[in-house]
Chain A
């Protein structure tokens, strides 16, 4: 009986440890196999991606529909190429949709927002979003504002 109790407590201990791993995976890191399901890839060129990072969200109407997979500098176009994966279920995005880099809150993380266009053709795997809007850089904004006030005074 003594060994049986010992076995029971050790078994419960190991079970608790494995359960903790499951909690860490599902509840805390939000790991779910379905989220990494079928996607298609599109890319876009931006003049300035300041602050956008791989794994950033791609959203539409505030709903996450994909994520940024890679950001690199294109040396022939002198602009930044952003690759993103979009959920295959969202397959009706018009080809002239706009991708803009937005900020969550005042100091929050950068993410990509897609606003819908009017084209009949839809984005498919490997296609490019031509209409893009770069990240808002605070210094440029302040610079422009200062320039405006100075020129008004004159």
Chain B
């Protein structure tokens, strides 16, 4: 292959990336800003909240519990060397609220709900359900895409908060009930060091940003996929990979801006 055609290949890849970004932006604004009549859309949103949010609850709670427990165990083993094992509550709470809560919940959400969204919408496209909707004059952006986007935006922040609470409770389970840290100092150290606005709300801002990005990527990949079985499988993989990378990269930027 000559040098010129390699450069052309690079150029085509660049153009493809830019046009995919542009299409996803137009797609998002059409789905969110398109006119919606209230009434029917609420029932659609409810159904999606169930499949995106409620069904992700189990994995979120179980992982939150174990992550909190492991943090408390590791933190205790390190802190006990300095004789300050009471600080384990503070460590668990700050780690959960600032970093692990939003990030791990978003990664789990991308794997559990994001891939399902992509596969579902991709299959709808492959079986020409989306084009038949357009044929009968129903806007698929409004009836298929918009409820899923909103369900994702609403679910992930809620899941993140539940994740943090369960994790901190799991930490107290290990530190207080098992390792024997005094429960008064576990909670009071935590309350002294955790600030509502700086820690809790900033963590929630992260969760909202991640919810936006992960759901956007998942739904767009499904909508934009090649309507074949390989196309759907590739789109599902891309959803998980892109969403995870976006979450981790954005987390660094948000942390640098916030803390």
Tell me, rounded to whole Å, the shortest Cβ–Cβ distance linking A52 to chain B.
16
Interface size class of A (residues with CB under 8 A): 20 to 34
Q: What is the CA–CA distance of A7 and B49 in the complex, to the nearest angstrom?
A: 10
Let me know if A9 and B50 touch, CB within 8 A: yes
Q: Which residues of A contact B77 (CB under 8 A)?
A: none
Interface residues of A (CB under 8 A from B): 3, 6-7, 9-10, 13-14, 16-18, 20-21, 23-25, 27-31, 105, 107
Interface size class of B (residues with CB under 8 A): 20 to 34
Q: Nearest A residue to B204 by beta-carbon distance?
A: A21
Interface of A (DSSP majority class): helix
* 10 extra A-B contacts, CB within 8 A, seeds A13-B158, A24-B165: A14-B49, A14-B158, A18-B158, A20-B162, A24-B200, A28-B93, A29-B194, A29-B200, A31-B196, A105-B84
Q: What is the CA–CA distance of A20 and B164 in the complex, to the nearest angstrom?
A: 8
Q: Which residues of B contact A24 (CB under 8 A)?
A: 97, 161, 164-165, 196, 200
Let me know if B53 and A23 touch, CB within 8 A: no
Interface residues of B (CB under 8 A from A): 43, 46-47, 49-50, 53-54, 57, 82, 84, 93, 97, 154-155, 157-159, 161-162, 164-165, 168, 187, 190-192, 194-196, 199-200, 204
Ordered by A's residue number, 10 sampled pairs between the chains whose C-beta atoms are within 8 Å are A3-B46, A10-B46, A20-B158, A20-B164, A24-B161, A25-B200, A27-B191, A28-B191, A30-B190, A30-B192
Interface of B (DSSP majority class): helix
Q: Which residues of B contact A21 (CB under 8 A)?
A: 161, 200, 204
Q: Which residues of B contact A31 (CB under 8 A)?
A: 196
